[in-house]
C-alpha cells in the first residue's frame, strides 16, 4: 500500500464529517495523560504542578514567639502597672533563664518568649520609668504571643499533591526547609511549519513568499502555557521530506505542524501522518477560523495539525493544544476563564459554523465591555494582537450593541491598575 493510499484510507472516512469544538476537545483530552514527574530546584518549580503532598516537618512556629516589638512578662505576676526591665532579647537569640514575676524583658518580633512569660505588650503601649516600664493600658494575658504550632502543626498537610505552585507556595516550601520539590515535567513541543511559500524571519519580502510567523507565534503560546517549544523550521511541500521532519519532531512529547492540512494538491500532512503509522482521531472541526485542523496519535505521541493561516493556527491552538498540554503537565484547570461582557458593537454570524470572534475586553465601572477587533479574516493577525478574548457566535446568531454575551479571556492584563505618579 502506498503512502497516498494509506492516507486516503485514514482520512477520507474520518474527515468527511465535521465535529463540534467540545467533541474534539473531549477526544483530545481522552488521548493525553500526565507526563512523568521530576525533582527540580525550588525556584524552577514556580508555575508548575506539584506531584507530592507536603506535610509540615515541625510545628510552625517551633516555639512561642513574640508577634511585636515590646516587653515580655508574666501576666499573673503583674502587680499594678509597673514592671522592672531585666534584659533584652533580639530575634535570633534565646533566653533560658526564667523571668521573675513583676519583671519584663524587652523583646523583638520573632524572638522566642522566655520562660516565665506569657504576654507581650507593644513598645507604643508603655513608657519608660527609670529601670522599668509603666503600662499605659491594660495587657490581656497571652497578647501578642504566637503560640507554638499556631500556624502549622507537625504532620499537618501544607500543600496537596496536584496544587499549582505560586510564589506563596514557593515561600511556604522554603519556610519548611525544602530545597527541591517533585513536579510534573514540562511538555516538550516540536513546532514544524510546512509550505514552499515560507521563508524564515530575517528575510526580506519577496514575491510569492511569506515569513514564517506561525512557528514563533505557536512557540510563544507553548511557552505561555508552561511548555518547552522546539522550533523545527520549515518543511517543504515534499511528502518524503515532511515525513522525515515529522519523525524527528516526534522525539518530543508533542508535535504541532502548521499548514498543509487542508485539501490542496500540496497538502501532505495528512498523508505523512498515515505514512508514519499514525491513527487519526479527527480532521476538520466545525469552527471558524480553524476548520482544517487535525489530531492524531503517532508512535504514542499527540500530533496536532493546525491550519496555515496565522489566526486560525493560534485559535486552534487555544482550543485544542493548550488544554492538552496543561493536562499533560498535571493541571486540572485547563480552560481559560469565561466572563460575561456587554458588547459595544453589533455581531452577526451568517455562516453555518460557530465563529470565534476576536474581541477586546475592558473593565469599566465594574463591568466587562467588549469591542470587535476589526476585520476577522483568518490571515489578519492584527485581529489577535488587538484583542484579548474570543466571543463564540453560534451559526445564524445576531447580537446588537448593548447585548450581553460570554467571552473566553486570553489574558487578564487589562484588569491591572495603571501607574500614576505619586499614587500607591
Topology of domain 338-415, CATH: Beta-clip (2.40.340)
Q: Per-domain residue ranges for the chain?
A: 3-36+186-328, 50-59+152-184, 65-146, 338-415
pLDDT (mean) for 158-185: 97
- If you compute the radius of gyration of the chain from its CA atoms, what whole number of angstroms results? 31
Whether pLDDT at 6 is above 80? no
pLDDT at 15 over 60: no
pLDDT category, 264, cuts 50, 70, 90?
low
Q: What is 65-146's CATH number?
A: 2.170.190.11
Residues contacting 411, CB < 8 A, separation 6+: 388
- SS3 of 357, please? strand
**pLDDT at position 36 over 50:** yes
Cross-strand bridge partners of residue 133:
83, 128
Q: What is the dihedral of CA 272, 273, 274, 276, to 10 degrees?
A: 80
**Mean pLDDT score, 286-308:** 97
Distance CA 314, CA 321 (A): 10
Residue with the three cell numbers 509550505? 195
> What's the pTM value of the predicted model, to 2 decimals?
0.89
> How much is the average pLDDT of 284-295?
96
**Model confidence at 197, in pLDDT bands (50, 70, 90)?**
very high
Report residue 12's pLDDT band, with 50, 70 and 90 as the boundaries.
very low
Mean pLDDT, the chain, integer: 93
> For the purposes of burial, counting CB atoms within 10 Å of the CB of 150, is it exposed (0-12), middle (13-18) or buried (19 or more)?
middle
- From residue 235, give the alpha-carbon distance in Å to each of 83, 125, 198, 269, 386: 84, 76, 9, 10, 30
Contacts of 43 (CB under 8 A, 6+ apart): 170
Interval 387-394 mean pLDDT: 98
Has residue 9 got a pLDDT over 70? no
Cβ atoms 147, 15 nearer than 8 A: no
Instruction: Report d(CA 158, CA 108) in Å as an integer.
Output: 28
Nearest to 201 by CA among 191, 211, 216: 211
Confidence of residue 2 (pLDDT cuts 50, 70, 90): very low
**CATH topology agreement for domains 3-36+186-328 and 65-146:** no
Does residue 120 sit in helix, strand or coil?
strand
Which contiguous run of DSSP H or E holds residue 26? helix 21-30
CA–CA separation, 183 and 46 (whole Å): 10
Average pLDDT over residues 244-273: 90
What is the second-level CATH architecture of the domain 3-36+186-328?
A: 3-Layer(aba) Sandwich (3.40)
Give me the mean pLDDT over the 308-313 stretch.
96
Structural contact between residues 380 and 372, judged by C-beta atoms closer than 8 angstroms: no
Look up residue 312 and give its DSSP letter. H
Residues 319-350 have pLDDT tens digits of 999 999 999 999 999 999 999 999 999 999 99
Does residue 201 have a pLDDT over 80? yes
Amino acid at each position: 500500500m502506498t503512502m497516498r493510499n494509506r492516507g486516503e484510507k485514514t482520512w477520507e472516512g474520518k474527515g468527511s464529517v465535521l465535529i463540534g469544538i467540545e467533541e474534539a476537545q473531549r477526544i483530545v483530552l481522552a488521548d493525553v495523560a500526565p507526563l512523568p514527574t521530576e525533582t527540580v530546584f525550588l525556584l524552577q518549580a514556580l508555575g508548575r504542578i506539584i506531584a507530592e503532598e507536603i506535610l509540615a516537618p515541625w510545628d510552625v512556629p517551633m516555639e512561642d514567639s513574640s508577634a511585636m516589638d515590646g516587653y515580655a512578662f508574666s501576666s499573673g505576676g503583674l502587680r499594678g502597672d509597673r514592671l522592672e526591665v531585666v534584659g533584652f532579647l533580639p530575634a535570633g537569640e534565646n533566653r533560658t533563664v526564667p523571668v521573675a514575676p513583676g519583671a519584663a524583658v524587652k523583646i523583638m518580633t520573632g524572638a522566642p518568649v522566655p520562660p516565665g512569660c506569657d504576654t507581650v505588650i507593644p513598645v507604643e503601649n508603655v513608657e519608660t520609668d527609670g529601670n522599668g516600664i509603666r503600662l499605659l493600658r491594660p495587657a490581656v494575658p497571652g497578647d501578642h504571643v504566637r503560640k507554638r504550632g499556631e500556624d502549622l502543626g507537625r504532620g499537618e498537610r501544607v500543600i496537596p499533591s496536584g496544587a499549582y505552585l505560586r510564589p506563596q507556595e514557593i515561600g511556604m516550601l522554603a519556610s519548611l526547609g525544602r530545597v527541591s520539590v517533585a513536579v510534573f515535567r514540562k511538555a516538550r513541543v516540536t513546532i514544524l511549519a510546512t509550505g514552499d511559500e515560507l521563508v524564515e524571519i530575517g528575510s526580506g519580502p519577496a514575491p510569492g513568499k511569506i515569513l514564517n510567523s506561525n512557528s514563533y507565534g505557536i512557540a510563544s503560546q507553548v511557552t505561555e502555557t508552561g511548555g518547552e517549544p522546539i522550533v523545527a523550521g520549515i518543511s517543504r511541500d515534499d511528502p518524503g521530506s515532511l515525513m522525515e521532519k515529522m519523525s524527528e519532531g516526534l522525539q518530543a512529547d508533542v508535535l504541532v505542524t502548521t499548514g498543509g492540512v487542508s485539501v490542496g494538491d500540496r497538502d501532505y500532512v495528512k498523508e505523512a501522518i498515515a505514512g508514519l503509522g499514525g491513527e487519526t482521531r479527527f480532521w476538520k472541526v466545525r469552527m471558524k477560523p480553524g476548520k482544517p485542523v487535525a489530531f492524531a496519535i503517532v508512535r504514542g505521541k499527540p500530533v496536532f495539525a493546525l491550519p496555515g493561516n496565522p489566526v486560525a493556527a493560534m485559535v486552534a491552538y487555544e482550543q485544542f493544544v493548550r488544554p492538552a498540554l496543561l493536562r499533560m503537565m498535571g493541571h486540572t484547570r485547563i480552560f481559560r476563564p469565561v466572563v460575561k461582557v456587554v458588547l459595544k458593537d453589533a455581531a452577526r454570524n451568517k455562516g453555518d459554523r460557530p465563529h470565534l470572534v476576536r474581541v477586546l475586553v475592558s473593565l469599566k465601572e465594574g463591568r466587562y465591555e467588549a469591542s470587535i477587533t476589526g476585520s476577522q479574516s483568518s490571515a489578519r493577525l492584527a485581529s489577535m494582537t488587538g484583542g484579548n478574548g474570543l466571543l463564540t457566535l453560534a451559526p445564524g446568531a445576531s447580537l446588537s450593541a448593548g447585548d450581553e454575551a460570554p467571552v473566553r479571556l486570553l489574558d487578564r492584563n487589562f484588569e491591572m491598575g495603571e501607574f500614576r505618579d505619586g499614587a500607591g
